[in-house]
Structures are given as C-alpha cells and as structure tokens.
Amino acid sequence: MSSDNRPARKSRRQRKIPVAAVHDFPPGTRMEVKVGSVQIAVFNVAGDFYALYGRCPHQSAPLSRGRLQGTVICNADTCWETEWAYEGEVLVCPGHGMEYHIRSGKAFGYDLRLRTYEVVVEEGQVKLVL
C-alpha cells in the first residue's frame, strides 16, 4: 500500500488549561498546577512563561518551591574558563540542589531532562497547552 492510500492519523486535540490572569502572575513569580495526578510548575521569568514537570525525579521535591538563579559553566565555548551563565534561568531543586535549565528542562551535569510544557498567553490568561 502506498503512503498516499494510508488513512490520515487523527491528531490529538490539545487542551489549554488556565493557570492565572497575566496581571496576577508578575515576573519572578511561580505557580503550581495540578492536572489530574501530575504536578506542573509554571514560572514567569522576566515576562516569559515556562512550565516543567513539578517534581524532582530524585526524591519528588516540589520544584515550584525551588529558587531561580544562574550557574557556573566551563566548556569549550568558554575556553575551559569558569563563567557565570543563565542568570535567572536555572531552577534549583529545594530538596537536594539539583539544577535544571528552565527553558529546556535539562539537568546541569546529568543526563536527565524534565518534561517541559508549552505555555501561551491568550486574552490576558496564562494557559498550559497539553
């Protein structure tokens, strides 16, 4: 059977879950949203919204309570010199200090990535796209 004769796949419908009104969610704040049994941490970083799986995989610490900061990096891009980077974009687990890049969910120093979720602003509302 050629690919032209295959039935079209049904696309999964995206749900938009309201989080808060934009005016109630100023830069530097965060909220924890529960969707079914899943905790999702939503952050406003300088007017940009990011959402990550809300529990640290190490011991389930609530990531919505973690602090945002930068981190020290040292790699070929810095000529192997230490450099402060990602100011305000590094989420630190409140349980054991593991660091995650809030934009990608990637853990610094480990082969681990948290699930990230799309966040949109529509008609003055911050919404999770699932």
The CA distance from 72 to 60, in Å, is 25
Model confidence at 1, pLDDT cuts 50, 70, 90, reads very low
By CB neighbour count within 10 A (0-12 exposed, 13-18 middle, 19+ buried), where does 117 fall?
A: buried
Model confidence at 61, pLDDT cuts 50, 70, 90, reads very high
With tokens 């990230």, the residue in question is 116
Q: Is 104 left (phi over 0), alpha (psi -120 to 50) or beta?
A: alpha
Query: What does the pLDDT look like over 82-129, one tens digit per residue?
Result: 999 999 999 999 999 999 999 999 999 889 999 999 999 999 999 999
Query: What does the pLDDT look like over 3-44, one tens digit per residue?
Result: 455 555 555 678 999 999 999 999 999 999 999 999 999 999
The CA distance from 17 to 39, in Å, is 13
Q: How many CB atoms lie within 10 A of CB 31?
A: 17
The CA distance from 123 to 31, in Å, is 19
The pTM for the full model equals 0.83
Q: Which of 41, 98, 46 is nearest to 71 (CA)?
A: 98
